Amino acid sequence: MKHPLESLTIAGSILLLAFLSCLLLPAPSLGLVLAQKLVAVFHLMDLGQLYTLLFCLWFLALGVIEYLIIRFIWRRWFSLAG
């Protein structure tokens, strides 16, 4: 039987891994022309808003990837259920 707070734990672990990612991997930087074009396309206020969204998406994506890798390793070699 699954634990009732498992979905909350999974979401928290993804967020924690995303925060750890910001210490390990640098976020991508856009050129000024591309950044200004993206600000115009998405109707943002300024470059700061664009980079805030970019960094949030980047670190959450890294957190999800790290979570899936750790989950695969755990289920493959360390899980006692199999």
Q: What is the pLDDT of residues 13-39, one digit of tens each?
A: 777 777 777 777 777 788 999 999 999
Contact 27, 55 (CB under 8 A): yes
| Domain-located, residue 36 | yes
| Domain-located, residue 18 | no
Give residue 81's pLDDT band: very low, low, confident or very high (50, 70, 90).
Answer: low
Give the range of the structural domain holding residue 45, as residue numbers without chain letter.
29-82
| Domain-located, residue 20 | no
Model-level pTM? 0.64
3-state secondary structure of 1: coil
| Domain-located, residue 54 | yes
| Domain-located, residue 9 | no
| Mean of all residue pLDDT scores within the chain | 81
3-state secondary structure of 74: helix
Distances (CA, A) of 69 to 36, 60, 63, 65: 35, 14, 10, 6
pLDDT at 82: 54
Number of domains, the chain = 1
| Domain-located, residue 5 | no
pLDDT at 10: 78
